[in-house]
């Protein structure tokens, strides 16, 4: 059973998803990140006519977290609308890795609720991160 804290992440990510700028793909994605102090930061995907220049919802949420002075992801939720779970892309997995530990929960949801919860280790096994550089 998903708790009220995760429900709050879902509602925040759904609200962010509604603000996505996806005029080309029409595929809106929202994300919500819970920082170490419990505050939630959200983001949406922002497409660009020069396709590779767009940003993902997870990246936007992480940027908002960092801007607020946070440096640790405690939990993240990604919401999209698809027949299959919409998991973070490879680049976003690495960005999550920068601020999260191997056991950080990553919830994959659609508008009806959480479909699956994975740890970062499950999503990005044998990852390269900040600890590899120390």
Catalytic, out of 58, 70, 116, 121: 58
Here the tokens at position 80 are 């999209």
Residue 18 is among the residues annotated as catalytic for this protein: no
Residue 44 near residue 17 (C-beta atoms within 8 A): yes
Q: What end-to-end distance do the CA atoms of the chain give, in Å?
A: 38
Q: Which helix (H) or strand (E) holds 61?
A: helix 57-67
Residue 88 near residue 123 (C-beta atoms within 8 A): yes
- Which sequence positions are flagged as catalytic? 58
């Amino acid at each position: 059973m998903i708790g009220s804290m995760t429900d709050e992440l879902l509602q925040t990510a759904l609200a962010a998803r509604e603000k996505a700028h996806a005029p080309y793909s029409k595929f809106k994605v929202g994300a919500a990140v819970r920082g170490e102090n419990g505050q939630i930061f959200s983001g949406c995907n922002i497409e660009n006519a020069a396709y590779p220049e767009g940003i993902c919802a997870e990246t936007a949420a992480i940027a908002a977290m960092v801007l607020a002075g946070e440096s640790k992801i405690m939990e993240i939720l990604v919401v999209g609308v698809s027949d299959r779970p919409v998991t973070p892309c490879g680049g976003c997995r690495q960005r999550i890795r920068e601020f999260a530990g191997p056991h950080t929960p990553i919830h994959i949801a659609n508008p009806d609720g959480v479909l699956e919860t994975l740890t970062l280790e499950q999503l990005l096994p044998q990852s390269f991160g900040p600890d590899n550089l120390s």
